[in-house]
Structures are given as structure tokens and as C-alpha cells.
Structure 1
């Protein structure tokens, strides 16, 4: 469509503020008879409900905008909160960690092997068991008659042989053959005669009579002890034998 050359061109600066477009939206700010519609909001409904319920006191105003109300009303509901798990302690026997189905009964052969291992543990070998029997060498050799013993008697390294010796001989072997198998056998023979070694005084003690006082830590009474300095047996009355100084190892 073309306009004739003589027609005036429209002017856009001649518009008046009171006029409105024919096909455009109505202006609510300029028109006197047209007002913005009052939109009902959740805020006004909540205020009316609070006033109608008859609550006493001042009701704080809800500082919410229409944007906050509509955004909260149209938001999709979130997933339900998961229930909070409660913790508890459970006691499990350690044996179930190794055998969840319970202990397996041992066979007859396994029980026999276990019994043999326990008995072997109670009879452990000592370093002195591997020592050779040393030949006796006299410090001051002298010629002897042929009907005297020229070599040590047989089975002289057994406990039975040492039990046939006198008590003074056993004390001599214990104090003068230190660190040998003979000292070990002499101590074992002395223990079989109810002698007990005191680790503080380094002497052997024996009960002369039943102790008058016996506790878990000591016993008190009359004792016979061997004095290695004066080389003789002495009696001590009212002696307190503390168990912490008792050499109570089982000599096997």
C-alpha cells in the first residue's frame, strides 16, 4: 500500500496523555473510573481467619509478599523425610567370627594330639639336657688303689642318684657347682626333701613346725635354714617368709 504524495505523514509526538489506544490494554493509572482489581491473597485470608477466631493480643503482621505466597503454594511437595535410624550395640562372641556356625567337634585323633601337645608343654627340655657328661678331672690327682672307683659311677646324672646323697653333699653341689646340671639335680633333690630357696638371702629354708601365721603374702613361724657362710644348719624362730622371695619354679 502506497500513500499519495500529497497526504500528510502521521506525527507520533502529538499523542495526549489522557487518550488511550483503541486496541491496546487499559491504563489503570491514568483513568479515573478504572481501578486495579483487588486480588485475594493467602495473606488477607490468614489475617481474616485470625481475627475471626477471637485470639487475644496483637497479631503480628505477616511480612509476606504475593510472590512468596504464590511461589510457596505452587511449589511441588518434596520427598518425605526419611525416619532417623537408631543405633544400638550388639555383643557378638569372638568365636563366631572364626566359626559362624559354631565350634566343630574334634575327632578322637585330634583330641589325642591336643593332649600330647599339652603334656609336652609341661615337660619342656632344658639347655642342660643337651650337655655332655663331663669326665671328672681331679685337681690334685694322686695314685689310688685299683679296688677304688676310677671312673664316676653309672647313672650319676639322675635324680634318683642325687636323692641318695646326704643333705650336706647336696648343699655343696648347689653352691660350688654353679651353672651345671649337677646344681640343677641337687636343687631338685632338695625340693623333694621340703627345702625351699629364699631368693633374697640366697639360702635354703625348711619348716621346723607348722607356721603360726599364714596369709596370701607371707607365713611366719620357726624355720631351719642352711648357712653357707658358716656351713651349718641353724634355727630361726619367728621368721617371716615372704612369698615374693620364694623360688617356686617347678623343676621337671
Structure 2
């Protein structure tokens, strides 16, 4: 009975299944003072982000969370017709025109960015993109 009580005390919570939102290195290493400690001011310029490829924009979006650079990367991805899905926390782009379109969703073939298992773009056929999960606002 004690073992059962002890296991009850270690029961998982809802937060245990949530994805970690920011990168924390296992073994942080102090950066030498000769290495730049702050991002270059050039990365404050939106024109720089217009010249970056999608891989660089995805990298900035996922690894510079909560920064102005993340906002600029998201803005540029949206210009390139990528749409952020809040439930799956990834970016989708139409591969072809949707087969079904309603006021609540559209269904068809999409390209999505797989940042968790392959850091690559994959195709999802017959995907139902519900508009309630569409991130439609960009905040700084």
C-alpha cells in the first residue's frame, strides 16, 4: 500500500506532456569575452530578413523566441505564404489549392516544416487546417 501511495505522489501532470518552448543547453559553456556578446545591429533591419532563405528564417523563429528577430522571421515567412498552426506549433503552406473550403476550415495538401524530427519540409495530404488554429496576428 505504501508503494501505491508513493507512486500516486509522482503522478504526471498536464504540464509534463507540453513541449519545451525554448532551448536550454544541457552543459552551458561560458562564452569568452572576445566573442560577440550581443547580436549584431544588422539583425534589427527588416531588409536583412527579406534576403534569408526559409531554413534560416525557421531557425531564427524557433531558436530566438521572444525576440524582435523572431517577429521579423515570422513576418517574412508570412510574406512567403507560410501560415503558423497554433495547435501543432509549426508552419504550413498550401501545396495546391484546397479541395474543400468552408468558413471554419480548409482541407487539402500542405507542405509543413518538421522542426522536431527532421528539420525539413514534408507534405501532408488530406490535411484539415482549422482556421481557429491559425495565428493571424503578429505582435512585437
- Confirm or deny: 8 A CA contact 1:221 1:240 kept in the other structure: yes
| Residue 158 of structure 1, CA deviation | 2.1
**Corresponding residue number in structure 2 for 1:210:** 97
Q: Partners of 1:139 and 1:167 in 2: how far apart?
A: 28
Gaps of 5+ in 1: 1-137, 144-150
* Count of residue pairs the alignment pairs up: 107
TM-score normalized with structure 1 length: 0.39
- Confirm or deny: 8 A CA contact 2:86 2:134 kept in the other structure: yes
| Residue 251 of structure 1, CA deviation | 5.8
User: Of residues 102, 126, 138 in structure 2, which corresponds to 1:238?
Assistant: 126
Gaps of 5+ in 2: 1-29
Which structure carries more strand by proportion? 2
Tell me which stretches of 4 or more aligned residues in structure 1 moved more than 2 Å: 138-143
Q: Partners of 1:167 and 1:239 in 2: how far apart?
A: 22
Q: Do residues 190 (structure 1) and 66 (structure 2) align?
A: no
Q: Do residues 172 (structure 1) and 66 (structure 2) align?
A: no
CA-atom RMSD, angstroms? 2.3
Deviations 1:142-194 (A, max 9, x none): 89xxxxxxx93x64312221010110001000101111111111101100100
| Higher relative contact order (CA closer than 8 Å, sequence separation 6+) | 2
Q: Partners of 1:163 and 1:248 in 2: how far apart?
A: 20
User: Secondary structure, in 3 states, of the residue corresponding to 1:216?
Assistant: coil
- Confirm or deny: 8 A CA contact 2:93 2:110 kept in the other structure: yes
Structure number with greater Rg is 1
Deviations 1:63-85 (A, max 9, x none): xxxxxxxxxxxxxxxxxxxxxxx
TM-score normalized with structure 2 length: 0.69
- Confirm or deny: 8 A CA contact 2:43 2:69 kept in the other structure: no
